[in-house]
Amino acid sequence: MNIDKLVLAIAGLLILVSVSLAVTISTGWLWLTGIVGAMMLQSAFTGFCPMALILKALGVEPGNAFK
């Protein structure tokens, strides 16, 4: 799995977990959903993604979007 697919998978997982926590525990967890969404939006325009940098440092194979 390359960086592009892992970034999408991790973002999707964080969104699902934060929404589940907001429904079951406290709506305060929705801030995590907002942060993940904002980071995805800004990376679409700037190409900067902190998760991609972390995965690259860990030696994950780069994809087309994050080189």
pLDDT in tens, 20-56: 999 999 999 999 999 999 999 999 999 899 999 999 9
Please give the pLDDT value at position 63.
86
The DSSP-derived string for 4-22 is HHHHHHHHHHHHHHHHHHH
Report domain extents, the chain: 3-57
Task: Tell me the longest C-alpha to C-alpha distance in the chain.
Answer: 38
The pTM for the full model equals 0.87
Six-digit token pair at 51?
Answer: 């998760």
Comparing CA positions, the residue from 35, 32, 1, 2 lying closest to residue 17 is: 32
Please give the pLDDT value at position 66.
74
Please give the pLDDT value at position 43.
92
Q: pLDDT tens for residues 54-66?
A: 999 999 998 888 7
